[in-house]
Amino acid sequence: MMRHLLSASDLSYEQALLILDTAQEMAKVSESSVKKLPTLRGRTIVNLFFEDSTRTRISFEAAAKRLSADVINFSAKGSSVSKGESLKDTAQTLQAMGADAVIIRHGSSGAAKRLADSHWTSGAVINAGDGTHEHPTQALLDAFTIRKHLHVGVGDLRGLTIAIVGDILHSRVARSNVILLSLLGAQVILVAPPTLLPLGVEAWPAQISYDLDSVLPQVDAVMMLRVQQERMADFFFPTAREYSHYFGLNRRRLSSLKSNAIIMHPGPMNRGLEITAEVADSARSVILEQVTNGVSVRMAVLYLLLAGAPSGDIEGSVQV
């Protein structure tokens, strides 16, 4: 296993499957009566969050605690960052406190890589979202959820078609998902207005469509992205109402899906904008399950990055 998890493109096909298989075992812990394992006892994990987050931070915290690690939560608000402290000084401070892993979310793309490439911290670095770049654990939990529902929890995602709909331009979730889902053999279709597609998207391993209605009947899963109003200084579409009309998931569009297709959303949702409340709460929606699976997937990542001897490789069983 590698030392850090910075991007979905760091993962080989085998590593991606190993994480999903490990997560499957971790899920059993979350279901058992004692939701705790001694595996990472005595290790310190820092949640270094320069941007707001509910589910990702809590999910990593729950994952670390279920493996008995100590968790330190750091959020930029109310810390010395608001006094102008740099990433370097913050990271070195955490290093001096003995962090074995740093889970970082930052508004700047590449912040996680900057931290991993520096000598500011000796711990493992896990990217929990950097700017509009990547969010690899979200892609892993999405792949896990899709596999569980449509491939009974085994193997890769070959033969499946997945639509990712909405604000692709600002979405680190979409970028990580395109990389990971195509690595696992799924076919990805991006659906968005041309203004919300990034430059160079033609080179991504995905098809592009501007027409949601023609795409829906052929997909096995549809992933709705949040319209990121806080990143929108410019006008990307005329009105919210027009966006909903062309790219929102509503009852009519729900009925055009295959009977076993699932509806996903990385959260937080703008109910009434990209997805109606009725669809979000429907039986086809696996949005809350994604949250549950997120804990299992993050337990798997923490286990694989932290539990073994430093710089170790995967090995078979040995006699003890």
Partner 1 sequence: MSVALPAVDISRALIRISHEIIEKNSGSDSIVLMGIPTRGAFLAQRLAQKISTIEGHQIPVGTLDITLHRDDLRMNPIRPLVPSLSPTGGIDGRDVILVDDVLFSGRTIRAALDALGDLGRPRSVQLAVLMDRGHRELPIRADYVGKNLPTSRSQVVKVHLTEIDGIDEVVLESEEVK
Q: Give residues in contact with partner 1 (CB under 8 A).
A: 1, 18, 21-22, 24-26, 28-29, 32-34, 36-39, 67, 303-304, 307-309, 312-315, 317-320
Of the pair 21, 52, the CB lying nearest partner 1 is at 21
CA–CA dist 114, 15 (Å, integer): 23
Q: Catalytic: which of 4, 57, 66, 105?
A: 105
Task: Give the H or E element holding residue 253.
Answer: helix 251-254
Token pair in block for residue 35: 């939701």
Is 56 noted as a catalytic residue in this protein? yes
41 an active-site residue? Answer: no
Using the minimum distance from each CB to partner 1, give the nearer residue, 2 or 97. Answer: 2
Question: Least separation, in Å, of the C-beta of 42 and partner 1?
Answer: 9
Which residue among the candidates 4, 44, 56, 226 is catalytic per the annotation? 56
Place of tokens 């949702």: 269
- Does 105 qualify as catalytic in the annotation? yes
Comparing CA positions, the residue from 247, 158, 161, 239 lying closest to residue 197 is: 247
Least separation, in Å, of the C-beta of 17 and partner 1?
10
Residues 150 and 262 sit within 8 Å (Cβ to Cβ) = yes
Structure tokens at 130: 């950097």
Name which of 91 and 297 has its Cβ closer to partner 1: 297
Alpha helix positions (H), 77-219 = 87-96, 111-117, 136-150, 172-183, 212-215
Active-site hit among 3, 55, 65, 231: 55
Going by their DSSP bridges, the two strands 207-209 and 221-224 should be labelled as unpaired
Q: How far is the CB of 308 from partner 1 (least distance, A)?
A: 3
- Give least dist CB 319 to partner 1, A: 6
Q: Of 210, 211, 175, nearest to 195 (Cα)?
A: 210
Q: Which of 136, 179, 183 is nearest to 294 (CA)?
A: 136
Helix (H, G, I), strand (E, B) or coil at 162: strand
Q: Least distance to partner 1 from the beta carbon of 245, Å?
A: 47
> Quick check: 259 and 287 in contact, CB under 8 A?
no
Under a CB-based contact definition with an 8 Å cutoff, are residues 29 and 297 in contact?
Answer: no
Concerning whether 149 is annotated as a catalytic residue, the answer is no
Q: How far is the CB of 2 from partner 1 (least distance, A)?
A: 11
Q: Looking at beta carbons only, is 82 or 319 nearer to partner 1?
A: 319
Q: Rounded to whole angstroms, how far apart are CA atoms 164 and 275?
A: 13
Range list of H helices, the chain: 13-31, 55-66, 87-96, 111-117, 136-150, 172-183, 212-215, 240-247, 251-254, 277-280, 287-306
Q: What's the CA gap between 228 and 169, in Å, rounded?
A: 10
Enzyme catalytic residues: 55-56, 83, 105, 135
